Chains A and B, each alone.
Chain A
C-alpha cells in the first residue's frame, strides 16, 4: 500500500504517530524495541479490569469515530457478569469521505491498535474481538493479519496472555463496500453476515450486540490511544487536550493544500493553524472558500469561520461537528454546486434503503441537484432542497439521515446566493 505522504509535524509528545517515520514499525520486533507491549504488560499484570476502566474514564478519551462518546463510559455499560460471551468490535470501516487516519494507524502502527484491543478486552472481560475493516483496504487488512500473527506468536494473543490466564482471539473481518456499515449497529449486522441495516436502539450493543451478546464497538484511533493512557496515566493524557476531551486527534487534511496528509495535534488546535501552519496553506494561486471540518457529513464552514478550536464542543457550538476530524479544504475556484453534487450522489448511493425519508429523500436531492447542474434548475429548487433535507434530518432510524441532510442544509444556507445564481431564472 502506497502511503507516500505521512508528513507528520512534531508536537511536543505524540501519542499515535510518534514513530510513523520508521519504515518497519509494523514489525513486532521494531515495535518492541520502541517500548511496545509494555502497556499490555502493565495492564494485565499490575492493574485490575476496573482500574483500567477508571483510568480511561478519567483520561476523558472520547470516541474518535465521529460521535465522540466517552470511551470508558461505553465500556462500563457492558454488564459485568453475563452468561453469554462478550465481544469487542473494532470499527475500521473508514468510509466517511475525507477520512484516512485509521488507514495510517493500521498500516504504520498496527501493534498499537492490537495493544489497545488487548487492554480494552481485558478491562471489559472480552475473549474475542473482530476488526471490521473496509473491504477496499485489502492490503491494510493483510498487514494487520500479519501483525496479529506476530503478536500471537510472542504470546500477546491467544491462550493465557502473559500467563495471566486471560485469553483473547482477534480476527480481521473485511467489509465489502457499504458506507452504512460504519454505523455501529449496521456494522454488527454486517459482521453477522447480513445486509448492513442499522438496528433499532434500545437495546444498545453494550447489552445486546454482536450475536445478541454484550458488545463494545470502538474506533481504531480510540483504541490506539489506550496504551498511552495506561503507560502515562490519565492526567498526562487529559493534559494533552481539553478538560472533557483529552489527548490528541489525528487530523486528515485533503483538498488543494500544500501538504495534504495527517497531523496529530492536541484536541482543540485551531482549524486555521491546521490548514495554514501544518498543511502549509493553500496551493499557490488558490484561495480558501470553505472547509468541511469533520468528514463529509459535517456542516460546512466558510473561509471566515476557521478561527475555531477543533474539538467536539467548539464545533457543535457553531453548528458543525468534529466527526472524524477529516478536514476537506475547498478553494474559490470550486463551484459550491459541484460540492453539493458530490455530497448528494454519495448519500443517495449509500442509503441502506430502510427508512423512507433517507431512501427517497436522498435520491430526490440528487436528482434536483443533477438538474441544477445541467442548467435546468428551476426557481424554488434551493428551497426544495432545504425542505427535503429537513425532512430527512432527525427522522431516520440511524444517524445516516443526519449525515445526509446536514451538509445539504449548511451548503444551501451558507451559499444560497451562489446556488440560486445557477437556476434558470437566477441572476447568473
Chain B
C-alpha cells in the first residue's frame, strides 16, 4: 500500500496504523493513550491528524492505513487542536494546580513546582524522572492555562505494598487498565463511573492487595504520568547509569534494565527489547532485585566455624580449611549439591571440580530433577530422543493447551502471558490438577484429579481417540498397532469412575483435543515424579502423538536446563542422581559441598559441611565453612532459560564485600588443592572451555548470544508410540524443587516483606 505522510511517500505491506508507521519513520505525532502492543483506545485525541478527503480529523493511533491515503500530521491548526486538548487535561491535573491557580499563569512556572512537589507530598515525576506527560507539555508548549486547575481532591492510595496510586494525576489514558487486561490477563484495574467522575479503580474500590493484582508492575511501566508510582522511587534520587541483565529469580530469562546511582542498584524495569519478556516482567524482577541483592541476610565474608561459632575470615584461610578437608576425604565419601540458580560458568567449574578434580560421582542439582531431565531420561530409556528446546511463541500456535497443575502466572509468568494471549485469540485452556488455580477463570475446563492419576486420564483420552474415526493420522505413526492393542485392556468406564468424571466428559475432552489441533501440553516436575511419573510421561508422549501435540516440559530455576546439560556431561555412569540426594539426607557422606539452596538441611548431614551461597539461612547452622558467592547482578555469565535459550549477562555492580562468583571460588579452591585445568581468569575463559566440551554448547560463541541462540540438541527421533514395558526404571526419587520464590539461599516469600504479603493473600 502506498501512503503519503506530510508529503513523504511511503510504502507499507502490513496492516498498521498511521501512528505506528509515523513513529517507525521518525515522524513524531504526540499521543498519550497509545502504547505499543495494546489495542487502540483513541481516547486522548492528541494524535488527531488530517486525512485528505475526510471531513473529520482522525486519530492516528486508531486509523489503519489504506492504499492511497494522504495524511497531514503537523499543521498549525492541528497543533492548536492538540494544545487545546492538552490544556483540558492540564485543567484536571493536580500537579499543575500548584502553579496555575491563577488563570494565565505560565506553565513554565512548573519548574518551580517540581521543587516544591516532594515537599508538598506530591511527586510530579513519574518513573525515574521520566514523565511522558511532561515531555508532551514541553513539545506542545501550551503557553497559557485557560482554566484554573483543580486541586487534587482525590485520596492518594498508599495502602498497597510496592506502589501508590494518585489519581489526581491520572489523565485517563487507560494504559494501565488495558495492559492489565489485554496483556497480563488480570484486570485488577478498570474504568469506573463516567463523565467527569470517570476514573480508574479496583473491585469494590479496594486496595490492590485485596484484588487479583499480581503486582507485576506493568501498569507502572506504562503510566505516562506520576499517577502510579513505586514506593521506592524518590524524585530527588535519579539514576546516573542503566545496565541490562538477565533476571535470575526464575527460569524465564527476562531481560531487565537496572538503574544505578553511584554504583548502587536503585530499581529495575523489564527491558522493552528483552527477547523473552518484551517489556514485561513479574513482581520479583520488577520490584525485588535491589532488595534481594542488598538483603540483610547477604553473606559477604568467608566464614569458618571455630569453637562452634562461625567467624569471618579471609578467603585464604577459608579455602585452606576446605582444601585440607577435601584432600583428606575419599572421593566416594564426598557429595556435591549444585545450584540451578548459578550461571553455566559456575556450574561447569563446580561439576568439573567434582567430576574431574575430586573424581566423585556424587554430584546432583535441581537441574537433574526437572521435567526436562525426566522427559529426556524417560525417552532415552524408550530409545527415543526427545526435543527439549521450544519457543514460548510455539505455545501460541496451539489451539488447545493442556496445563498440568501449576499456577503459571506465578511460576512461569512469561509462558503464562503467551498462554493468555492464545486464549484471547481463541485457544482453549484445560487445567488438570488437584487444586483450583486462580488462572482457572481463563480456562475452559478444570479436570480435578488426585496427583498420580494423570496417566489414567491421559490413557483414557488416548483410547477414545484411537477408537474414534479420527485415528487415521495416528495409524501412520510407528507402533500404533501395538499401542492400540495395549489400550484394549484399558477400561474406560473404570478409569472414569476412579477419576470421578463422567465418561461423557472424557469423550467431550477427547473430541476437543481432536478437533482443536495442534495441542500443547505444559507440565512441570510434579507430573514426572514419584511412582506414577514414568507412566504419566508415557501417556503424555502418546497422547501428544495422537493430537499433534507439543510437549512443553517446564523448569523453574534460572539455569535448570544448563545445570542438567552440564552435569549430564560430567556424569560417568547413568547413576540416578536421586540416590545422591537420598544419601545426603541419610547422612551417607562424610563431606558435603552445598551450593545455594539446593537442599534444605534439617540436621547436620555430614561431618564436614561447606556452603557456598549468597545468603545466610537455616542451612548456615550446619556449615563448617561458608564461602560467599555473588548474586547475578555482581557477576557476568550465561543462563539457559526454560526454552533452552542461552543468554549472556554482564556484571552490573561490583561484588558486595568479599563475595566472589562461583567459578572463581571453585578455581581458587582447585588451585589450592593442586589441581590442573582451573586457571580460569574470567567467566569467558570458563565459557570457552564449556563450549568446547559440553555437546549442548558446542561452538556457541559468547558474542553470538544476543537472545536468539538455543542449546544444541540431538536430532529428535522419528516419532514412535512409547511402549509400556519400559515404563519402569526411571529414577523415582523425590523432587527437591525449590519453588518459584526461592533465589539461592534466600527464601524470598519469607524474607521479603512485600512478597510475603502478596503471596500470603
Q: Do chains A and B touch in the complex (CB under 8 A)?
A: yes
Taking Cβ atoms with an 8 Å cutoff, the residues of A that contact B are 178, 180, 195, 197, 200, 202, 348-357, 359-364, 384, 387, 391, 394-397
List B residues 140-157 near A (Cβ within 8 Å).
146-147
B89 CB to nearest chain A CB (Å): 6
Contacts of A387 in B (CB 8 A): 84
Complex: A397 Cα to B63 Cα, angstroms: 11
Known: A384-B146, A391-B81. A355 touches B45 (CB 8 A): yes
A267 CB to nearest chain B CB (Å): 25
Docked-complex contact A397 and B55, CB < 8 angstroms? no
Q: With A356-B172, A363-B196 given, can you name 19 additional A-B contacts, CB distance below 8 Å?
A: A200-B62, A350-B195, A352-B194, A353-B172, A353-B191, A353-B194, A353-B198, A354-B198, A356-B43, A356-B85, A356-B88, A359-B172, A359-B195, A360-B88, A360-B91, A364-B88, A364-B147, A384-B146, A397-B43
Q: Mark B188-226, 1 if CB is under 8 A from A, else 0.
A: 000101111110000000000000000000000000000
Docked-complex contact B198 and A356, CB < 8 angstroms? no
List B residues 38-83 near A (Cβ within 8 Å).
40-46, 48, 55-57, 59, 62, 64, 81
Taking Cβ atoms with an 8 Å cutoff, the residues of B that contact A are 40-46, 48, 55-57, 59, 62, 64, 81, 84-85, 88-89, 91-92, 146-147, 171-172, 174, 191, 193-198
Once A and B bind, how many residue pairs between them come within 8 Å at the CB atom?
Answer: 86
Complex: A359 Cα to B193 Cα, angstroms: 12
Complex: A354 Cα to B194 Cα, angstroms: 8
Docked-complex contact A353 and B81, CB < 8 angstroms? no
Docked-complex contact B40 and A356, CB < 8 angstroms? no
Which partner residue on chain A sits nearest B48 by CB separation?
A395
Complex: A349 Cα to B196 Cα, angstroms: 7
Docked-complex contact A352 and B44, CB < 8 angstroms? no
Known: A353-B191, A364-B147, A394-B57. A359 touches B196 (CB 8 A): yes
Docked-complex contact A359 and B198, CB < 8 angstroms? yes
Complex: A364 Cα to B45 Cα, angstroms: 17
Docked-complex contact B42 and A397, CB < 8 angstroms? yes
Contact check: which of A200, A349, A359, A363 meets B40 at CB < 8 Å?
A200
Contacts of B59 in A (CB 8 A): 397
Contact check: which of A178, A364, A395, A397 meets B194 at CB < 8 Å?
A178
Docked-complex contact A357 and B85, CB < 8 angstroms? yes
Docked-complex contact A395 and B88, CB < 8 angstroms? no
Complex: A348 Cα to B193 Cα, angstroms: 13
Complex: A113 Cα to B541 Cα, angstroms: 59
A84 CB to nearest chain B CB (Å): 12
Contacts of A353 in B (CB 8 A): 172, 191, 193-198
Docked-complex contact B57 and A395, CB < 8 angstroms? yes
A177 CB to nearest chain B CB (Å): 10
Known: A353-B172, A384-B146, A387-B84. A360 touches B89 (CB 8 A): yes
Docked-complex contact A348 and B45, CB < 8 angstroms? no
Complex: A395 Cα to B56 Cα, angstroms: 7
Contacts of A348 in B (CB 8 A): 195-196
Complex: A394 Cα to B85 Cα, angstroms: 13
Known: A357-B85, A364-B147, A394-B56. A195 touches B92 (CB 8 A): no
A343 CB to nearest chain B CB (Å): 14
Contacts of B41 in A (CB 8 A): 354
Docked-complex contact B195 and A349, CB < 8 angstroms? yes
Complex: A18 Cα to B467 Cα, angstroms: 66
B82 CB to nearest chain A CB (Å): 10
Which partner residue on chain A sits nearest B148 by CB separation?
A367
Contacts of A397 in B (CB 8 A): 42-43, 59, 62
Known: A354-B43, A355-B45, A356-B43. A391 touches B195 (CB 8 A): no
Docked-complex contact A396 and B45, CB < 8 angstroms? yes
A200 CB to nearest chain B CB (Å): 5
Contacts of B85 in A (CB 8 A): 356-357, 391, 395
Known: A361-B88, A364-B88, A394-B56. A351 touches B196 (CB 8 A): yes
For this complex, 14 residue pairs linking A to B, each with C-beta atoms less than 8 Å apart, are: A178-B194, A350-B195, A353-B193, A353-B194, A354-B174, A355-B45, A356-B44, A359-B172, A359-B198, A362-B196, A387-B84, A391-B84, A391-B88, A395-B48
Contact check: which of A352, A394, A396 meets B198 at CB < 8 Å?
A352
A423 CB to nearest chain B CB (Å): 16
Closest 8 CB pairs of A and B: A353-B198, A363-B196, A360-B88, A351-B195, A394-B56, A354-B43, A391-B84, A200-B62
B448 CB to nearest chain A CB (Å): 28
Which partner residue on chain B sits nearest A178 by CB separation?
B194
Known: A395-B48, A396-B45. A357 touches B88 (CB 8 A): yes
Complex: A348 Cα to B198 Cα, angstroms: 11
Known: A357-B88, A360-B88. A352 touches B45 (CB 8 A): no
Complex: A353 Cα to B45 Cα, angstroms: 12
Docked-complex contact B92 and A360, CB < 8 angstroms? yes
B461 CB to nearest chain A CB (Å): 28
Docked-complex contact B45 and A356, CB < 8 angstroms? yes
Contact check: which of B55, B81, B193 meets A395 at CB < 8 Å?
B81
| Residue from B57, B84, B193, B195 whose CB has the most chain A CB atoms within 10 Å | B195
A403 CB to nearest chain B CB (Å): 14
B129 CB to nearest chain A CB (Å): 25
Complex: A195 Cα to B187 Cα, angstroms: 15
Which partner residue on chain A sits nearest B173 by CB separation?
A356
Complex: A396 Cα to B45 Cα, angstroms: 7
Which partner residue on chain A sits nearest B62 by CB separation?
A200
Contacts of A195 in B (CB 8 A): 191, 194
Contacts of B81 in A (CB 8 A): 391, 395
A400 CB to nearest chain B CB (Å): 11
Docked-complex contact A352 and B195, CB < 8 angstroms? yes
Contacts of A200 in B (CB 8 A): 40, 42, 62
Complex: A202 Cα to B89 Cα, angstroms: 27
Complex: A406 Cα to B126 Cα, angstroms: 38
Contacts of B46 in A (CB 8 A): 356
Contacts of B195 in A (CB 8 A): 348-353, 359, 362-363
A374 CB to nearest chain B CB (Å): 16
Contacts of A359 in B (CB 8 A): 172, 195-196, 198
Contacts of A202 in B (CB 8 A): 64
Docked-complex contact A364 and B56, CB < 8 angstroms? no
B143 CB to nearest chain A CB (Å): 15
Contacts of B42 in A (CB 8 A): 200, 355, 397
Which partner residue on chain B sits nearest A391 by CB separation?
B84
Complex: A363 Cα to B88 Cα, angstroms: 10
| Residue from A200, A352, A360, A363 whose CB has the most chain B CB atoms within 10 Å | A360
Contacts of A363 in B (CB 8 A): 195-196
Contacts of A384 in B (CB 8 A): 146
Contact check: which of A178, A180, A355 meets B43 at CB < 8 Å?
A355
Contacts of B91 in A (CB 8 A): 360, 364
Complex: A144 Cα to B538 Cα, angstroms: 60
Docked-complex contact B198 and A395, CB < 8 angstroms? no
Complex: A200 Cα to B61 Cα, angstroms: 11
B549 CB to nearest chain A CB (Å): 26
B175 CB to nearest chain A CB (Å): 13
Contacts of A391 in B (CB 8 A): 81, 84-85, 88
Which partner residue on chain B sits nearest A397 by CB separation?
B42
Complex: A195 Cα to B191 Cα, angstroms: 9
Docked-complex contact B84 and A360, CB < 8 angstroms? no
Contacts of B171 in A (CB 8 A): 356
Contacts of B196 in A (CB 8 A): 348, 351, 353, 359-360, 362-363
Which partner residue on chain A sits nearest B197 by CB separation?
A353
